[in-house]
């Protein structure tokens, strides 16, 4: 019985967690709903007996939408853990259960999260976190042309790429490992400002954001190429060693050119890039 989320999840991990929760509870009547926080407990009776209509993601947050007009908002941050279990089976953990949905067969359990709320549609739209998010990077409605238009917006022109790609108001769902991997895929140095990029660079960056993030969603967080992963697995390398092109690979040779990967701290966060494949001066 393993947690769905661990570590600091990014958009692909959140969406995969939401998929698993949705398979367990969507379309099912919630026989019982419980909250640990006293101010939310009055909602238990209002949600009990209602059908779970959807489990949505907004960047790194999850919204469980119930029949009627209420949704449960949850942001796991670093410590929250979701479990999906057979009803009556609880994980062995010292964590505190904060939110639970039970139907006849399954339970979706959220432990340790501190950001949980119950919202109407209007409250979702003006929520202090949700209302400031950019488009969700895994939304089916976000394509390369829409993302290119956003990258071309003058509001973002002075932003360095290493900072812009972590800004959830720009695009929601990108995090630290995706930032390094996207910039490697696009061949762009982390310190370049968005306004310094050519039109071709902007289009490449738009494609890379979508390609790398959606690959990470499909593969459970693996951003290296499928052919390279297959070859490295055959050599006996562990997942942590073959998972990424550059992230956490400081000092090791680039899989593409052999140059040593650089590790920097920019804006207080670690970032990795290849000086040969991602030159500052192009």
Using only the alpha carbons of the chain, give its radius of gyration.
Answer: 20
How far the first Cα of the chain sits from its last, in Å, is: 50
Q: Name every residue whose Cβ is closer than 8 Å to that of residue 238 and which is 6 or more positions away in sequence.
A: none
Q: Indicate which residue of 20, 95, 269, 270 is catalytic.
A: 269
Task: Give the separation between CA 261 and CA 34, rounded to whole angstroms.
Answer: 48
- Helix crossing, 176-186 with 199-219: angle to 10°? 130
Establish whether 230 is a catalytic residue.
no
Establish whether 10 is a catalytic residue.
yes
Task: Give the separation between CA 146 and CA 141, rounded to whole angstroms.
Answer: 9
Q: Indicate which residue of 15, 16, 58, 60 is catalytic.
A: 60
* 3-class state of residue 99 by DSSP: strand
Establish whether 9 is a catalytic residue.
yes
Helices (H), the chain: 11-25, 43-47, 121-125, 144-151, 161-164, 176-186, 199-219, 226-234, 239-242
Task: Give the separation between CA 208 and CA 82, rounded to whole angstroms.
Answer: 29
Establish whether 269 is a catalytic residue.
yes
Which residues are designated catalytic? 9-10, 60, 269
């Amino acid at each position: 019985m393993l947690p769905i989320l661990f570590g600091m999840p990014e958009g692909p991990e959140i969406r995969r967690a939401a998929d698993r929760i949705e398979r367990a509870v969507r379309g099912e009547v919630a026989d019982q709903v419980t909250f640990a926080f006293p101010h939310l407990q009055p909602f238990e009776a209002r949600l009990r007996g209602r059908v779970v209509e959807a489990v949505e993601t907004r960047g790194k947050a999850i919204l469980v939408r119930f029949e009627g007009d209420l949704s449960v908002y949850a942001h796991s941050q670093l410590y929250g853990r979701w479990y999906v279990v057979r009803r009556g089976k609880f994980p062995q953990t010292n964590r505190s259960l904060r939110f639970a949905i039970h139907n006849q067969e399954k339970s979706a359990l959220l432990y340790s999260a501190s950001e949980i709320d119950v919202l109407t549609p209007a409250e979702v739209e003006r929520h202090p976190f949700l209302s400031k998010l950019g488009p969700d990077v895994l939304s089916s409605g976000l394509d390369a042309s829409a993302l290119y238009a956003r990258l071309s917006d003058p509001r973002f022109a002075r932003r360095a790429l290493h900072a812009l790609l972590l800004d959830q108001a720009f695009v929601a769902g990108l995090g630290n490992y995706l930032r390094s991997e996207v910039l490697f895929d696009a061949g762009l140095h982390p310190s370049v400002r968005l306004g310094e990029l050519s039109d071709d660079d902007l289009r490449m960056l738009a494609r890379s954001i979508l390609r790398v993030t959606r690959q990470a969603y499909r593969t459970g967080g693996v951003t290296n190429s499928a052919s390279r992963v297959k070859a490295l697995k055959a050599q006996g390398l562990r997942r942590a060693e073959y998972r990424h092109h550059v992230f956490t690979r400081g000092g090791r040779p680039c899989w593409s050119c052999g140059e040593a990967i650089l590790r920097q701290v920019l804006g207080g966060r670690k970032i990795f890039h290849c000086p040969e494949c991602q030159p500052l001066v192009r």
